[in-house]
Structure formats: C-alpha cells, structure tokens
Amino acid sequence: MDFKWNKLFIISILEISLVLTSCKKESDTVIYVPTSETITIDSSVAYKEPFRPQFHFSPEKKWMNDPNGMVFYKGTYHLFYQYYPEDIVWGPMHWGHATSTDLIHWKHKKIALFPDKLGLIFSGSAVVDIDNTSGLGTKENPPMIAIFTYHDMEGEKAGKTDYQTQGLAYSLDEGETWAKYEKNPIISNLVLKDFRDPKVFWNETTKIWNMVLVAGDHAKFYTSKNLINWTLESEFGKNIGAHGGVWECPDIFKLKVDDSNEEKWVLLISINPGAPNGGSGTQYFIGDFDGKSFKTTQKDIKWIDNGADNYAGVTYNNAPENKRIFIGWMSNWSYARDTPTKNWRSAMTIPRELSLAKINGDYTLKSVPVEQFQKQRTTAFSKDKITLKANQKTTIDYANLNQSEVQLNAKNENLKLVFFNDVKDSLVINYDEKGKTFAIDRRHSGLVSFEKSFGEKIHHTKTSNIVSETINYQIIMDWSSIEIFLNGGVYSFTEQIFPNKPYTKLIIQSDENQEIKNLTINKIKGVW
C-alpha cells in the first residue's frame, strides 16, 4: 500500500469517526446544571446518616411503622406513630408523637402512649371531643382522645384468640401528656384473632361518633354518643375486594367528586400481603355510608398507590378547609425489617391531599403532595421544550437528584426516565403507551440484596385511566424514596430506593418521537 494512500485512508477514517461522534453529539444532548449543592454524610449525626430522608418525616432514632392518631387541633397537626424505642426492628409497640404547623417541618415530642398490663399499643386514631361527650375533660378544656388497639402478647403466646381489644387514652393538654381510661378496654374482643386499628371520627351528618375497625377479612362499623360505649352497626367486605392478606388500618371519609355536586364515601383498607406488586398495599372502595353501613357497587379492585412502599396510610381528622390529608408508612412488611439503615428505620410519605374524580365513568381517588410542600422548592433548572427523536437521549447532569422534584409534560407516548450515578446505579421508570402500563425498575437502583423480593422484579401497573393527550409527571425524590404522581395524582407510585451514591444524571428518552414541555428540576430544601 502506498504511503500517501495510507495517510489518506487514515485521515478519512478519522473524518468518518469524527462525523460519527459529532452525529452522536448532535442527537444525544447533555445539559449540565451547575449547583453549589454539597451532600454531607455523617453516620454519627442525626439526619445526616446515609439514606436519611431530608424532607420526609422519620423518627430521630429506632423503629417506626404505621401513622396513628392523625388530628389537627388549634393550628397544629399531630402525628402519632407505631414506635419501638429500643431497636430498629418491630418490638413492643408505643405511640411516638410529632407535631407540625405545616405538615412539612416536624417537632419530635415525648412518647405519648406506653404499653401497659392490657398489652402493647397498636394502631388507632385520635379526635378532639369538643363537646366533652366523654366527660373526660370539660367544655372549656375539651379532651383529645386516642382510641387504639391493645395487643396482649401473653394472650397471643398462650394461643388465645381474644388478645386484641380497643382501648382509650385522653389528654387534657393538647397531646403533651396522656392518661389511659381507667375502665379499659372499651371494646372487648368478640373471639377474633385479628380485631384492630380503630378509626374514629365525628359524623357531621348523623351527629354521632363513628368507628370503623378491621376483623381479619372484613370491616366493622360502630356508633357512639360518648366515645366510650360503642354499638356494632354493620360489617362490610367479606366477599368484596382484595383478600390476599389480612385487612388492616381502615379509614372512611366523604369526598366531593371533582366538577360535580356528587358526594361519595371512600373506604381505605390496607392489606398484607396481597398488594399488586407484592407484600403490603392499600386498596379503596367508593360507595355510600349512612352512618351505620357502607355499600358499594364497585366490582374492580382499586389501589391508592401502585408502588411497593405506601402502607397503612390514613387521613387527618379536622384538617382545615375540609381537606382530606393522607400520610402513609413508606415501607412494606416484606422487607421493612431489612432495609439498610442503621440508627432508625423507615419514613412516612409526603403528606398528600386526596380528591375524587370520575374518569371513563369510573371513580378514581387522586393524591398529590399537600400545597405546603411547594414552599420547599427552588428552581434549579427549567426548559420550555425538548424535542426528542426516537431513541435519542437528553441527559441532565445535576449533582443531587436525591433531594429534588422533577416536573414535566410529555406526549401520551412512550417515555423512559433513568436516574443514574457514577457507580452505575440506575432506577428506571417507563411509561408504555401501547401496553398502557407504567413500570418502575429498581433492580439495579443501588443496594437491593438485603432481602430477596426487594429488587427481584420490575413493578408494572395498568394505567387505563390515563386518557389525556399529554401526561404530567411529578417526581419527588429523597435520599431513599421516589414518589411519582401522574396527571395530578390519577396514579401515584411510592418506592424505597437505596442508591450507593446520589443519582447525578437524569436520562430522558423514548422509543418514539417525543416532545417534553415545561421540564423543571427543583431543589427541595431539607427540613431537619
């Protein structure tokens, strides 16, 4: 081969490869978002430990599960929760306590309820007895009343079947200190192994106290004039809904259907196991409640959240402006004890406002982060429009996606979002328009092998209620969780994640031509 040709050959190869590289550059875009964000991790400092949520509620230390006793009173949101102060695994249950004036910043309070000779303190609810119907306070100083389940461990060990009863405690200083009602239990067991998690509320229509609790495979409804003596009115659910596991943590409330004057009652029932993506999940029924019994014509099974990690969620009593505010436990009994955190275990979801819509003639419970959450945002990056050719990628390089909110509108076509870091952890979410499914793949999202089922499968959800031409995506990511809301919460997905390092790249792509509008990345201020 003559030298000149050879040189030419080399040049043309170089040219071709230059052209090829520039082609690649032209089609795939990288947008670098400068930020002064620094991430401090220090295992010895509370709220700086690896995986510690920066803007979600988590206990300062030790184990937490269900939210309990959620009540708003005199400007303060009370959040009680299932708490074991001695270890980071489930143990003898207490009620931990925290308060907030905005549902975002929380103050830790003293433990509210301790186990006693009747048993451990399982889940339940709280009300303010404004008219002092119980006689436990005065009209001038109405008592705050907690109604919860006593779980008698000794009884359970002895093989009895009546070891769960309902107890009452009251506070005359707005939840600071509590006394147990001396004639507890207020409802004895009906010889039912599972008999728990009372939700009590004032029924404005019938002017009486209502309670719903669960008994294995169904819910029981009660009424009371004084919160102490209860009358069993009806049962619901034996042959309706999902029954893959025992029923737990019920709630019932009324909502107006969007854009109409119609009102419907929503019954929430958590079940474990039996959720669509494995383990624990919360189903709901839409129907009517006359103060005594709940009826529904619903045939299908509906879930409040289709991710793997939103369980035992219930709503606030007396929230301002008649809002229905929900908080769930961001975990799943399949691996709650195994997640790789050290000083504490688990967190709550972002508080969410619930509403009801009719889509395709079907009632749908929607949830979105409460509006107070907006105050935590500052815009780090925004772009009006990104046009993507099929399989073309836009990568946003941003130092800490694990404390961010991503919002965008995309055509109702395939969209794939990949959260990625330099140790190659990747969390993939994929909306598939043709199959009408939404998928979350956390199999390679970071630490997953602490328990077999955690990273075993891609989680798929049918999204037949996405009927719009463009889809709004709202994605909130904290250090160890992702919460996704589609079209204003028509679908929501909550999942835990444990990336080895924060995700620093968001890759946006599609297998079709796609158009992204109003892409925003917000930094979320920490609250601790």
Residues catalogued as catalytic: 66
* Candidate list 79, 249, 410, 519; residue touching ligand FRU; CB under 6 A: 249
Min dist. Cβ of residue 197 to ligand FRU (A): 5
- Alpha-carbon gap, residue 79 to 286, rounded angstroms: 26
| CB of residue 337 to ligand FRU, shortest distance in Å | 12
Q: How far is the CB of 499 from ligand FRU (least distance, A)?
A: 26
129, 152, 248, 413: which one binds ligand FRU (CB under 6 A): 248
Coil, helix or strand at residue 510: coil
Nearer to ligand FRU, 281 or 502 (CB): 281
Considering only residues 64, 71, 88, 93, which one is a binding residue for ligand FRU as defined by CB under 6 A?
A: 93
Handedness of CA 294, 77, 170, 178 (dihedral sign): positive
The SS3 call for residue 244 is coil
Residues in region 25-84 near ligand FRU by CB under 6 A: 65-66, 82
CB of residue 311 to ligand FRU, shortest distance in Å = 6
- Positive or negative CA dihedral for 219, 165, 93, 136? positive
Please tell me the count of residues contacting ligand FRU according to CB under 6 A: 12
> What is the β-pairing status of strands 491-496 and 481-486?
antiparallel
Residue with Cβ nearer ligand FRU (120 or 136): 120
Contacts of 431 (CB under 8 A, 6+ apart): 410, 414, 415, 416, 437, 438, 439, 463, 471, 486
Shortest distance in whole angstroms from residue 151 CB to ligand FRU: 7
Residue 409 structure tokens: 């509108």
The residue (of 152 and 197) whose beta carbon lies closer to ligand FRU is: 197
Residue choice 215, 312, 365, 429 for contact with ligand FRU (CB under 6 A): 312
Bond before 34 cis per omega within 30 degrees: no
The contact pattern for ligand FRU, residues 268-307, with x = CB under 6 A and - = no contact, is ----------------------------------------
Phi-psi region of 241 (alpha: psi -120 to 50; beta: other; left: phi over 0): left
- Non-local CB neighbours of 406 within 8 Å, separated by 6+ positions: 417, 473, 474, 475, 477, 506, 519, 520, 521, 522
CA distances from 259 to 225, 256, 314, 355, 440 (A): 35, 9, 25, 11, 32
Q: Does 122 bind ligand FRU (CB under 6 A)?
A: yes
| 189 near ligand FRU, judged by CB under 6 A | no
Closest approach, Cβ 280 to ligand FRU, in A, equals: 7
CB of 133 or CB of 280, closer to ligand FRU: 280
Please identify which residue in 149, 332, 421, 510 interacts with ligand FRU, judged by CB under 6 A: 149
Question: Is position 123 an interface residue for ligand FRU (rule: CB under 6 A)?
Answer: yes
x-or-dash pattern for ligand FRU, window 195-234, by CB under 6 A? -xx-------------------------------------
Q: Please list, in sequence order, all residues whose beta carbon lies within 8 angstroms of the beta carbon of residue 221, skipping any fewer than 6 positions away.
A: 210, 211, 212, 232, 233, 234, 235, 236, 289, 292, 293, 294
Is the Cβ of residue 249 or residue 388 nearer to ligand FRU in the bound state? Answer: 249
Q: How far apart are CA 316 and CA 70, in angstroms?
A: 5
Binding residues (CB under 6 A) for ligand FRU: these are: 65-66, 82, 93, 122-123, 149, 196-197, 248-249, 312
